[in-house]
Each structure stands twice: as structure tokens, then as C-alpha cells.
Amino acid sequence: MAEHAPTRLHGLDGVLIALAVAAAAHVASLPPWVTLLLVAAGAWRWTADRRGWPLPPKWLRTASTFAAAIAIFASYRTLNGIEAGTSFLVLMAGVKLLETRTSRDLTVLVFIAYFLLYAALLRDQRLPLLPYLFVGALVGTAALMRVHAGAAGSSLKEILRRTAALMAQALPLALALFLLFPRLPGPFWGIQVSHSARTGLGDEMTPGDVSDLSVSGDPAFRVRFFGPVPPPVQRYWRGPVLHEFDGRSWRRTRGQAFPQQEATVSGTPFDYQITLEPHDRNWILALDLPAAWPEQDAYRAFDFQLLSPRPITDVASFRLRSYPDYVAGRLLPESVRHKDTQLPPQGNPRSVALGRELAARYGDPQAIVGAMLRMFREQQFVYTLEPPKLADNAVDEFLFETRKGFCEHYASAFTVVMRAAGIPARVVTGYQGGELNPIGGYMLVRQSDAHAWSEVWMEGRGWVRVDPTAAVAPERIERGLIGAVGADEPAPGRLRQESELWLQTTLAWDAVNDFWNEREVRFSADGQFRLLERMGFKEPDWRTLGLGMTASLAAFFVGLSLYLAWKHRAPARDWPARLHEETAHRLRRRGIVPGPAEGPIAFLDRAAAACPDLARDLAEIRDVYAALRYGPLPTETDLRRLKYLVNRLRA
Amino acid sequence: MSAAAHGAAPALDSAGVERVEAAVRALNGIILGKERQLRLCLACLLARGHLLIEDIPGVGKTTLAHALARTLGLTYQRIQFTSDLLPADITGVSVFDAETGQFRFHRGPVFSQVVLADEVNRATPKAQSALLEAMEEHQVTSDGQTYPMSEPFFVIATQNPMYQVGTFPLPESQLDRFLMRIELGYPEAALERQLLLGSDRRDLLVVLEPALTPQQLLRLQGEVPRVHASDALLDYVQAIARYTRQASEFEAGLSPRAVIGLLRAAQAWALMHAHPGVLPEDVQAVLPSVVGHRLAPREASRFRDAGQIGQHVLETVPVP
């Protein structure tokens, strides 16, 4: 047997690249062994193609399939969900590589690559991912194009040109589907995104530990105000309220129900839409004090914190109203009073003593608060992002020894002293500040704006916000973090503040991100209906949506067909060709239709045989037509004769 | 197919065409029931191409070649290709002549008008290329001396489609040198009965009278490129070429040489059938044999045989 030279699988390289690009979108969340196996399978298949090695036998492939499934199940306890599902898909792509012999298999692999790209969207729908997915789709399509381009192949440039053209053509279709494809309400298909570590506020605060929160310049949320914008000193965004103190750390309440508390509001409200970056917790940041919120998406806890029934795992928007002037919790239930005056029985003795001393000296809560703030202001307290570490009696050490810290230290120490003085007090965490983005017309609040302050309860005034940081470093409240820390201390965004160009660039980039979140990711069923209403549909529902989608798809394809028909329209026919068509048209009525591979002469011969009454005319048409169209010397006489004959046929 | 001779047909050697018909009739008496292949074979010869017959042994390949040579009054040589065949066995060798004291070139079997290269795939690529070079150049070069082939020069190569140990199937680049590839196939039952009852084909060969002189044949070969191909027909030929180059079914499309070959073969076919110019039907008649061995399908399972490839092309490309 003459050994055939091993035929190289055409287009394999491109498909391997496409697969690698698609899998790379998941590498960060895949277990290393899955990535390693895919790389090994790809490398092996590539070498096998080069060397002409045989592919593994069927039993081995079957065994690897089962082994992959078992391994995935063993590490995730499921084959379902995003993490296990993607790992499984990646492993299956590796197994598929082992049996890839034809261009059909390669096509399947490209489809797997497409699906992997799509699965990346389940994990993350934020803007920076988009260009990557776009490139991935481009590479996948180009690989597909190359698989089907033939051994001669087209040049890479030609393939890329055609791929780009294809994707540009697909754009209107994608737009129509984006706008009109019926949206499922709620999180996408209810898939639980794993709670990976995302930056944001925690439900615990330990002053003295190193905080990495304050150095992250990532966006926390964006706010669009409808109407007046609060001045910097009123930009307190309420987050988790911390009640429990163990001597070092502050925590939220757990497993304890408290009665709802009333709040009366006055003055001019701020109406705004807040768009939170996903933080995997269920709290909603809100300007102090939230008074109106969407009832089905949020509720207000007894400590006036807004909560969502579900963790916020995707970008989420809420329409809220807040009042800067309020009286919250005029009547203090005994359970809340007990909770918010509790201190651990031991620890921080000097602070507790200070509280008791203040209470004894002033009596009036307002005066006690004032005395404490005065102490912060007048003694040598320093605001810094790099405070010394604190040991067991953290509050004592901070208040009487180190005296260096940032908001957490001040809020914690202040609250402890107030509790010792018998005043109900708690720590409120959240964000303070916000930067207006003139390009996007919204306010951006960053993780670095995270803040902690205190709330104390006073008879007749309810819960009153006291920000001890403001006493130490008023610039922190007025100018943000950069204004508060020393010039030699590293702080996020310092470069932004000092370079105008950089500032403008970051503002523009954030505006683009905001647009993406607002218009693309958050484009839900409501948005679709609003769009339809604007287009003139009255009371649009699912049917309108389906109809609109069908209609626009139909319009797209009809338009495409018309364009293609125009592009590939038959060239202007010469007279003989037209007359031949006319003849064929006449004959079609008699049921004589030209076959797919039938030439005109053979067709006329067949027609003559089928219609004896026309046989003579058809024979003459055939001869004249052959001479006119294919003969060396077509004459005007022949053409007239053909016209005459065809006309006679018509009669 | 009609013999439409309407209109002026300048420079058409009608006597020559009749002689070709006579040759077809004569050959038909020897090779039974294979008129189509015989006509293709003659068209290939008229178009100055070479022919590759791919079929199992015993279907009459040798008889066909021999009969063709006799009907056309041409000299005939058969070269049996074997694994130990040397290039010199084909082209010839220089021998020292003691009388004149000089080397004298002894022409090999390739210096014949009809050469049957039997089972080319059994020889080494080196021997194969000696033949293929002679086919392409119509000359043999030995010791710096060039020896032209006798004209007309027509090579019929046969190849056994079943690959056996120690065979070297012609690579695609070499296949392109053959204008046509045909298969003879088994005869029909009734015709096979005639074969069984009739006399030995070799005896019939002996009494075969030439139907054409070599001069007439050369003149006809000269006519072929002058058969009129109208714009409409060239559009059709180009549409076919374009399709094979764009379609995903094939590894690679038709080369320009193949497209020229297709047109020449169609012209020869039109000439043989006394058409005033090349008709689309002429292209269709020769197309399967011209493109069948040149278009490699990307997925072998797609087409049953080479004929199907041609049929697929014909059905896909409409006649403009």
C-alpha cells in the first residue's frame, strides 16, 4: 500500500488559536488543571497533525470523556452552574480535539469557542470585557473562514477582510435582537455567580487592621440626580450600620429582629437614580436619609439602611428619594437602646473611663458630643491612611497613644466613648463624597470614597449623624481623601488630581462605562417597552415585542436578499439571450422546464421532441440561436429571423 | 446533439470532420459500446492533449490505444511501466558507434506518434517524469542534443486505480499534464456477449484501415484553436472556473492551464460535431473528463467518483 502523505488538517492552527482566545476569557476562574489539560490537548493535536500521528482509539476518547465529567463533578460537586459548566465545556473542547479529523469537527470546535466567549458574559458583563469578546469572535470567525477556504487558502489579509465584512453585516441584526429580543426579568437565567472577592464595604470593620478598601479607585456606584445636587458636606451615602462591638471589631446585628423606626423628613428632597457596581451583598447605598424607594426591589431596615432582597451580583439601578433634613427614630425602642449602648465587659478601660467622666461632667448628650469632638480637634490627632497597627485595647491605644488614623478609627473611638457615656451610638459605614462627571452628567463615587461615621441618639432629635473625622480633618469631607492626607502619603487618584489630561481621560472613560451599564446591561424589559412606546406603540406587551422582532428580522433579510439580488443581478442580456428566455418561458407553459445542467441547445432539442407540432420551428430557433449566440458571424438577418420565430411561437 | 450547420462556418475542414466520424465508426467496431469515450479520446487527440485512462486491467485500454493508432495511420509504441524502468528506457540512449567512432542516439519508444504508457503508477517518479517531460515539451534532450518528437504526438497513459504495494500514483501536479482522464468501465451485458461470440479484437485490429492520414490529422489539430468561441461561451467557461475556485467543496480550483484545456477540448468537440462555434453543450460534454482529475474534493465522501464532480459543477453553474 502506497502510504499517502499524512494530510494536514487544514485550518487547525486557526481553530486552536480561536479556542485559546476563548478559553483565556475564563482562565482566571478555571482550576489550573483544566487549563493545563486543554493546553496539553491542543499541543498534542497540533504535533499529531505535524507528525501524522494517529488519533487515539475510540475507547480512550470515551474514557477521557467520562474521566473529565467525573473530575469536574469531584471538584465542584455538580456539572451545573457557571464555574463547573465552563470547566466542563473547556475539558470537552480538549476531548473533542482528540477526535478532530475533518473540517466538520473543526467547525464544531469553533462553535465551542463561540460558546465559551458567550459564557464569559454570564460571569461579567462590564465594558472592558467587550473588546476582548469582540476580538475573540473575530478570531473565531476568521478560523471558521480558514477551515472552509480550501488548501490553497486565501491570504490572512483576505480572510480578515471578509470576517470584518461579515461582522459588520451582522451588526444591524445584532442591534435588532438586542433591542427587541424578549428579556427575562431578574438575574440572567437565575444563574448564581460565585461570590468571588469583590471590593466593597464589608459587614465588619476592624480599625487598626490594614485597610485596602480606601486605596481602590474603582467605581462603587454612579448617581444621576434629577434636580438639585447635594453639596459635598451632605454627600453621605448610607451603607451597613454596625451595632456590635467586641473590643476590636464592629459588626452588623445578626439573628435579631428590631421594631421598625419612624422617620419624618422635611426640606427639599434629592431625587436620583443610583447604579451600583456588583458587590455581591444585599445592601443598597443611599443618600442620607432615604425616604422613597421601589417597594418591590428594596426595603428599609430599622437602622435606616436600604436593603435589597437579593445580593447585587450584577450592575443594578434604583430610583430613590432622600431628604437631607430628617428626624429619624424619635422614639427609641428599648431593644435598640440596649443594643446601641452595649460595650464588652472588659477592654479599653481608659476609653470607658473617659466616657463616664464626660457623662459625669456634662450630663447633656449634646455637650458630651461637643466635648469629644473638641478633644479630637484640639489635641494632636492626625488623619492618615497609614496608621500604626493597634493591639488588643485598640480604642485606648488610638485615643491615648498613637492618635493617628482615618475615619474608621475616629468613628469607632467616638462611638465607644459615647456608649460609655450612656448615649446610644452606632457606627455607620458607607461612602462620603462623589465626583461630578461633566461628560456623563452624573456623580461617580469610588471605593476610595468609603467612609465611616457615627450616629448618636438624642432625646427629641432622634438619630443624629456625627462625623468625628470632620472634626479632625474637615478637608476629607470637603475635598475628599486627597485633600485630607499629607502630600507625601500615597493616595489613590492623586495623579488624576494633578494632571488635567489624565483627569479628563478618566472622566471620559468612566462616562463610557456608565453609558454601557445604563444603556446596555440595564436594558431590560422596561427599557424595551419604553422604546416601543416612543416608537408609537400603545401599551406594548410581549406580543408587540415579538412582532417587532419578527418584523425587523424579516426586514433585515428582505433587505439583504434585495441587495444580494441586485449585486448578483443577471448582466444585461443581449437580444438572442432574451429571445431564448422568451422561448423557455413559452415552453414552460407546456411543462417543459430546462434541467439544472441542461444547455440551451440540448433543451431546445428536447422541447422539439416533446412538442411535435412545434418541432420544426424549435429546430430552426435552435439553429439560429446557436449561430447568433455562439457562431462566428452573427448577422442582423439571423436576429430578425429569431425574433420572428419566437413571436410566432407566442401566437 | 444536432449537427447544426447553419450559417457560415469558415475554414471548416468538412472532409476532415467526416473522416473523424469514419474513425469513430471504425473504432466503434472494435471497442463496443464505448462511443462516448472514443469521441472524448479523439477530441483529446485533436486538442493536442494527452489522455489518462484510469481503469482496472482488461477493459480494453491497450486495444483502444492500438486501434486508435491504426485508424489514424499513426506509429504506435507501448511502454510497460515497471518499478525498474529507467528514464533512458523511455526516451532513448546514446550508444557508441564503432564504425563512425561517434555516439549515436538510439531513440526510445517515446519517439512514436501514439505512445501507450501502460500502468504509469508502477514506475518510479523519476521514470514518470521522463515521460511527462516529453509530453509537455514535445521533445527529448539527451547529451545536450534536442530531439523533437514526431507529430502528431499523443500519449495514452493508463493507471490502475487500485493502489498496490510499490506503486507511485501520479501526484496532482502531474495529473494536470493530462488534458482528460476517462474511465472505460465494464461493457453492457449484450455487448459483452458480442465480445464473447465475436472474433479476437487483435485480429480485427490487423484488418483495420486508416480512416485519416497524419497530415489530415495535423490539419484538424490546427483547426481546433480556430473554432469560434463567442463571448457568451467564454462567460460560461469563466463562470465554471470561478465557481471551482470559490466553492468550498474543492481543495483548489481549476488552474489557468486547466481552463485553457477545457476550452480547447470543447473546441475539438465542436469541430468533431461540425458546430458553427463552441456551444455550451460542447463544454458540458468534455467537462467531466477535463476537470474530474483536477478538482480534489475536500471531503472524499462527498463525491462517489470523478464523473460526479463534473456533474456537480455542471448542475451548479448555470449556462449564461
pLDDT band at A380, cuts 50/70/90? confident
Supply the pLDDT for residue B9.
43
Q: What is the secondary structure of A103-143 as a DSSP string? A: HHHHHHHHHHHHHHHHHHHHH---TTHHHHHHHHHHHHHHH
Calculate the average pLDDT of chain B: 81
- Using the 8-state DSSP alphabet, how is residue B286 labeled? H
In the three-class reduction of DSSP (H, G, I as helix; E, B as strand; rest coil), residue B182 is classed as: strand
- Using the 8-state DSSP alphabet, how is residue A521 labeled? I
For chain B, the helix, strand and coil percentages under 3-state DSSP, each to the nearest 5: 50, 15, 40
Residues of A in contact with B8 (CB under 8 A): 632-633
Supply the pLDDT for residue B13.
62
Q: How many CB pairs under 8 A join A and B?
A: 114
Q: How far apart are CA B288 and CA B211, in angstroms?
A: 28
How far does A603 lie from chain B, in Å, by closest CA? 10
For chain A, the helix, strand and coil percentages under 3-state DSSP, each to the nearest 5: 55, 15, 35
Compute, in degrees rounded to 10, the torsion defined by CA atoms A311, A315, A318, A319: 180
Nearest chain A alpha carbon to B301: A102
More confident residue, A464 or B95: A464
Containing A505, the helix (H) or strand (E) segment is: helix A500-515
More confident residue, A80 or A98: A98
Q: Give me the mean pLDDT over the A373-395 stretch.
A: 83
pLDDT digits (tens, 9 = 90+) for A606-618: 888 888 888 888 8
> Could you tell me the three cell numbers for A328?
429619624
Q: How far apart are CA A449 and CA A277, in angstroms?
A: 14
Nearest residue to A273 via CA among A323, A227, A305: A227
Which of A602, A629, A632 is the closest to B281 by Cβ? A602
Q: How far apart are CA A26 and CA A141, in angstroms?
A: 19
Supply the pLDDT for residue B265.
92
Which of B7, B298, B319 is the closest to A631 by Cβ? B7
Q: Say if the Cβ atoms of A626 and B250 lie within 8 Å.
A: no
ipTM surpasses cut 0.85: no
Calculate the average pLDDT of chain A: 82
Q: How far apart are CA A168 and CA A160, in angstroms?
A: 12
pLDDT digits (tens, 9 = 90+) for A102-136: 888 899 999 999 999 988 887 777 778 888 999 99
B209 Cβ under 8 Å from any chain A Cβ: no
Q: What is the secondary structure of A418-453 as a DSSP string? A: HHHTT--EEEEEEEE--EEETTTTEEEEEGGGEEEE
Q: Say if the Cβ atoms of B232 and A629 lie within 8 Å.
A: yes
CATH 1.10.8.80 fits B227-320, yes or no: yes
pLDDT digits (tens, 9 = 90+) for A544-562: 778 888 888 898 889 888 9
C-alpha distance from residue A331 to each of A264, A302, A325 (Å): 12, 12, 17
Supply the pLDDT for residue B165.
65
Q: A272, A320 in Cβ contact below 8 A?
A: yes
Residues of chain A in Cβ contact (below 8 Å) with chain B: 1-2, 10, 102-104, 148-152, 571, 574, 577, 596-602, 605, 619, 622-624, 626-627, 629-633, 635, 638
> Could you tell me the three cell numbers for A82?
457557571
Nearest residue to A306 via CA among A338, A335, A263, A349: A263
pLDDT band at A191, cuts 50/70/90? very low
- Using the 8-state DSSP alphabet, how is residue B250 labeled? B
Which has the minimum average pLDDT: A293-302, B196-205, B233-242? Answer: B196-205
Active-site positions of A? 407, 451, 467
Q: A134, A118 in Cβ contact below 8 A?
A: no
Q: Give me the mean pLDDT over the A522-539 stretch.
A: 72
B176 Cβ under 8 Å from any chain A Cβ: no
Strand blocks (E) in A485-552: none
